[in-house]
Amino acid sequence: MEFLKKLGIKDHNFGASTGTKWFKTKDQGELEIYSPADGKYIASVYQSSPEDYEKIIQMGLESFIHWRKIPAPKRGEIVRQIGLKLREYKQPLGTLVSYEMGKSLQEGLGEVQEMIDICDFALGQSRQLYGFTMQSERPSHRMYDQYHPLGIVGIVSAFNFPVAVWAWNSMLAAVCGDVELWKPSSKVPLSAIAVQNIIGEVIKENNLPEGIFSLIIGKGSTIGEMMLHDKRVPLVSLTGSTKVGKHAAEIVAGRFGKSIMELGGNNGIIISPEADLKMAVPAIVFGAVGTCGQRCTSTRRLIIHESIFNKVKDSLVNAYKGLKIGNPLDEKNHVGPLIDKKAVSLFTAALEKVRKEGGKVLFGGEVLHGAGYESGTYVVPAICVAENHYEIVQEETFAPILYLIKYSGNIENAIQIHNSVVQGLSSAIFTNNMREAEQFLSAWGSDCGIANVNIGTSGAEIGGAFGGEKETGGGRESGSDAWKSYMRRQTNTINYGTDLPLAQGIKFNI
């Protein structure tokens, strides 16, 4: 395929790189990558060894000594050039993301655009790594705080966003003066290799040392565990399931490291009687079926007032009937495949559990076979009537299942239902009632890290900090002041007088 050639993807690819240099390990197993779009073989990747990991860490430590001394705006210039390269490769890289992961071509291109946007954001941020000046109680003293880079930042990304989450972390970390080690999902390693090839061009053109942007593809049980336990990696940013995140956070905290955890979501939208349904329905459908329900911000629960429940239900069923399901590279299709057959099994098992718990599948739920669906990974997105307390509704099933939940009374009842899950990532309300909207955004409203009014749960912009509360992990990436996570804070006091007064008026005469 032409887009693979443009990105430097070969039939067999190595899985460890420090920038332009690739390690030639072949004895750790080979990942064969098949597209969920058509089931066809794409290419293979040789997994990395513990020895590769050690070499990359040593090179990262050496490059950090150099990189942290470069002024932040100059580091921002490198990030600017990366953004330009991504613009140049947007079409082939977006196509690869779509083909390897299964999301629609528009979403694949949109993911690369996110990378470009965060490069632009990080470029500006490189001149704004602000600290504060405080007033000292001691005469002729100046107090301020400042931020310094941490060192090696480990980035563990998930299959559903093969490249964007890496960029959220690495571009900010880079302008902060850190060096990065990326361990991508073994389900989508080719997209990561393509990005590393693009980054390599910038490294070569600027004669930068190896080890600033490194990649390692390998087993979680070996390479992943080494990163989690390694005190030379002061920060680990991990995107994944709550189970994996809890395991990782305990290990990193046990060695007094820092972590950013972006874990599960069970995102709900409240539909008030005063909602504009012409706006709400398209937002719900995109949130529920976009990326075939495999976004951490996918809409999973719809909390609808009883007075409009049937109207909303009928509108959604009609909208779902019009969905086109098929190859994600065909831009006429709305819904692509699930990532693999294991995900299909989880989808069908969840629907069976809904039925057993007393719910009803109103629409969808079938696994598609036949022409165009040879991969066995295509499903019809499902709409179910359920109750919030169902065990399956309390879980996050990474698939296109939308639970319709009825509420009665006022908005407080809807918020109580909404908050009654262990996850706390993204949330939304559709209402034209200002009081309802403001209450949803108040301290006694949504308990999520993201709360929206009259837009859906997915499609966050890079300018805002991304992340959630409760079992979603509490970390923040991307915009706002998320850059501070990649730095260590230091308070400084300078005495420019000739006396040595002590704080709190303490006297100590010798």
Note the Cα 447 to chain centre separation in Å: 19
Q: Which run of H or E residues covers position 240?
A: none
What residues pair up with 154 in beta bridges, in sequence order? 181, 236
Fill in the amino acid letter for 431. T
Query: Could you give the 3-state DSSP secondary structure of residue 64?
Result: helix
- The count of residues in the chain is 510
368 vs 374: CA distance, rounded Å: 9
**Phi and psi for 57 in degrees, rounded to 5?**
-60, -45
What residues pair up with 146 in beta bridges, in sequence order? 490
What residues pair up with 450 in beta bridges, in sequence order? 426
Say what angle helices 90-101 and 72-88 make with each other, to 10 degrees: 70
User: What is the pairing mode between strands 213-216 and 16-17?
Assistant: antiparallel
Q: Any idea which residue has 């946007």 for tokens? A: 117
218 vs 392: CA distance, rounded Å: 32
Catalytic residue flag (residue 296): yes
**What angle (nearest 5°) sits at the alpha carbon of residue 94, between those of residues 91 and 95?**
85
Residues 6+ apart with CB under 8 A from 140: 495, 496, 497, 498, 499
First-residue to last-residue Cα distance in the chain: 80
* Of 119, 292, 296, 448, catalytic: 296
* Token reading at 15: 């899985």
* Of 100, 180, 210, 262, catalytic: 262
Query: Could you give the 3-state DSSP secondary structure of residue 204?
Result: helix
Residue 338 contacts residue 328 (beta carbons within 8 Å):
no
List the catalytic residues.
262, 296
